[in-house]
Amino acid sequence: MSTDPGAVRERAAILRRGTKALVFDLYGTVVDMQAGLTQAATPYLEEKGWDGAPHRFVTWWRRTHFENSMIDSLCDRGHTSYREISHRALSYVMDRCGFPYTQKEVVQLVSQIEKLKPFPEVPAALERLRAAGYMLAILSNGDRDMLEAAMPHVGIPFDHVISVQEAGAFKPHWRTYAKAAEIMGVDRTACALVANHAFDCIGAKAYGMRTIFIDRRSRPFGETPHRPDLIVENVTALAAALA
């Protein structure tokens, strides 16, 4: 995708003309999941005497969670809750680390997901987008009750907060994006999915939504026919492009 300023402005103009709803991923896009969970896990890992880097532990946990959630969706034998997937993933990582733990400790660490804070630039940027007339929504792999508990910590009002539980599958299954469009009452072609994860953008684009990739880590999007409509470094840059 061209990074020429003129081409970027043209793509942003096309998005402005046709987009009614901005549909945000929550974990890693609106809230800082990596930093928040690393902060929560650090004292726990120190107590256990684990000598690895806490942020690597969290990365391992999150990757294991993602793998297990994709297996759950592909098996298509009934939706497993996000919380249960996270319990399983964290227990697996702790087993691999080789230190003793209790199920109560697993539950306590997973509960920290509900207390994550937004990236610093997000609140002001979303207010700018709201003032510009966009419908703002969350579409998250988190469970309904987890999202309800999280919203006071996020501290940002959204027009819709949608769990994939409504669709019975995890993103990037097409049903999740279809259910979000149905709940919002907006045609999929007028929705733009905003995510820090390429897989989420690819799933939404394949379904027929527009997509915006938040490239916080300056990493390549990867080879795919389902390219994002716009790539920006953070939500402030998104607001500057669309508001």
Q: What are the domain boundaries of the chain?
A: 5-32+116-242, 33-115
Question: With 60 as the cut, is the pLDDT of residue 228 above it?
Answer: yes
Residue with tokens 């300056």: 218
Find the mean pLDDT for residues 126-152: 97
pTM to 2 decimal places: 0.94
For residue 8, what pLDDT band results from cuts at 50, 70 and 90? Answer: confident
By CB atoms closer than 10 A (0-12, 13-18, 19+), residue 137 is: buried
Token pair listed for 182: 């149905």
33-115, which class in CATH?
mainly alpha
DSSP for residue 13: H
**Two domains, one topology: 5-32+116-242 and 33-115:** no
Compute the distance between CA of residue 151 and CA of residue 210 in angstroms, rounded to an integer: 25
Tell me the pLDDT tens digit for each residue of 16-39: 999 999 999 999 999 999 999 999
Per CATH, which fold does 5-32+116-242 belong to? Answer: Rossmann fold (3.40.50)
Q: What does the mean pLDDT of the chain come to?
A: 95
Beta strands in the chain (DSSP E): 21-24, 135-140, 160-163, 191-195, 210-214, 230-232
Question: H or E element: which one contains 241?
Answer: helix 235-242
Residues in Cβ contact with 213 at an 8 Å cutoff, skipping those fewer than 6 apart: 195, 196, 198, 201, 221, 228, 230, 231, 232
The DSSP bridge partners found for residue 210 are: 192
Q: Which of 234, 229, 191 is nearest to 32 (CA)?
A: 234
The DSSP bridge partners found for residue 65 are: none
Number of H helices, E strands in the chain: 10, 6
